[in-house]
Copies of this chain bind each other. A is one copy, B any other.
Amino acid sequence: MKPEDETNEVYRFFTEVGIINQLISTKLEAFLPGRMTATQFGILGHLVRRPEGETPLQLSNGFQVPKTSMTHMLASLENHNLITLETNPKDKRSKIVRSTPQGAEFLKTCMERMSEALAPILSELGASPFHNSLPNLTLIREALDSERD
């Protein structure tokens, strides 16, 4: 394949990723209360799967959002009683973020609704487009991730 065709495919790849992200975020955010964001929901899911908690900085690295945005998102999640913020005993500059039981409950409910909403698509396409592309996506995500210094 010619190099410019490759570039073109890479471009189209990122375009599709962008639109899928947009579509799925919009769909998800329709279920979420107030102006809670898909990213905020992602953070909650991340925390529920990690009972030991994480620091805000780890989260902002993992989700690739600026620290300052993370502060805002965490404050919002805390207001909804979905997470707690404690000062980190090992480093008093830092904090530990954990999900609350309400957070886990809330996540579960939303995921169930989301599954229902996605059921028609899953039954139309089957699992294979997701299953087959996932390893490639992971590969690309890891490469992009390790690129940034």
Q: Which residues of A contact B (CB under 8 A)?
A: 1, 6-7, 9-27, 38-39, 42, 45, 63-65, 111, 115, 118, 120-122, 124-125, 127, 129-134, 136-141, 143-145, 147-148
Contact A125 B139 (CB under 8 A): yes
Copies in the complex: 2
Contact A12 B134 (CB under 8 A): yes
Contact A64/B130 with A38-B18, A42-B18, A138-B16 known, Cβ cut-off 8 Å: no
- Report the minimum CB–CB distance from A41 to chain B (whole Å): 10
A122 vs B4: C-alpha distance when bound (angstroms): 12
Can you report 5 residue pairs joining A to B where beta carbons are below 8 Å apart?
Answer: A6-B122, A6-B130, A18-B24, A19-B145, A125-B143
